[in-house]
A and B are shown apart, each in its own frame.
Chain A
Amino acid sequence: RKEVEQDPGPFNVPEGATVAFNCTYSNSASQSFFWYRQDCRKEPKLLMSVYSSGNEDGRFTAQLNRASQYISLLIRDSKLSDSATYLCVVRLNDYKLSFGAGTTVTVRA
């Protein structure tokens, strides 16, 4: 079983729509959780950390459910510039981050 699993998508949504997707992780001892964003043929970049109580960063909301071992990301009022692959990332220890394969989101005009 993969350490981090994501629905690959793609999620095709119109501008202004809300899109949400999850990822699941297998190691219950995982310490921290993050969403990274990767544009086509570019490097991954940190989008936001995911805190136990849930957190927002502008139009982005992240949730963590430790009991069920899943993380979610919701994007409100989608923009064309939100089109990217979103990588779910789990921190297993001080150095090791496990990356999911990514969920592709395409926002259309």
Chain B
Amino acid sequence: DAGVIQSPRHEVTEMGQEVTLRCKPISGHDYLFWYRQTMMRGLELLIYFNNNVPIDDSGMPEDRFSAKMPNASFSTLKIQPSEPRDSAVYFCASRAGTGGRTGELFFGEGSRLTVL
């Protein structure tokens, strides 16, 4: 089975440009999460969806960030305009139901964003 698929794997852009990150969750998983990882702050939850509906976006840093999930197999995280402090690895993760006792999240390989 394919895992969580993210694109692009690497993105280098200039400050002020729009960035769109994409994610395809594992088929059948009804929870989708966007995380950001930096050396300083570790893994931070930005937003999560349940059955394509955004449930909690309290982790989204500011209005420059937006996320959508138009259907069960696709989600985007958009940053507009991008700033150098947005440089990080952005992970998408998915899970079936509440994850049961294992609480296992399945992560994509991440999108490494560098904003110059």
Contact = CB atoms under 8 A, between A and B. Distances in A.
Interface string A48-59: 010000000000
B57 to A, nearest CB: 13
A43 B103 contact: no
A87 B108 CA distance: 16
* Interface footprint category on A: 10 to 19
Nearest to B107: A43
Nearest to A49: B102
A72 interface: no
Max count, chain A CB within 10 A of own CB: residue among B43, B45, B50, B56: B43
Contact of B42 (A45, A97, A99): A99
B101 A95 contact: no
B18 interface: no
A99 B37 CA distance: 10
A95 B43 contact: no
Given A43-B91, A43-B110, A101-B42, A95 B105 contact: no
Interface in B99-116: 101-105, 107-110
Q: Using C-beta atoms within 8 Å of the partner chain, give the interface range for chain B.
A: 10 to 19
Q: Interface SS of chain A: helix, strand, loop or mixed?
A: strand
Q: Residue among B45, B105, B108 with the most chain A CB within 10 A?
A: B105
A96 B56 CA distance: 10
Given A95-B31, A95-B56, A46 B45 contact: no
Given A34-B103, A95-B31, A44 B43 contact: yes
Given A43-B91, A43-B109, A91 B43 contact: no
Contact of A43 (B48, B101, B104, B108): B108
Interface of A: 32, 34, 42-46, 49, 87, 89, 91, 94-97, 99-102
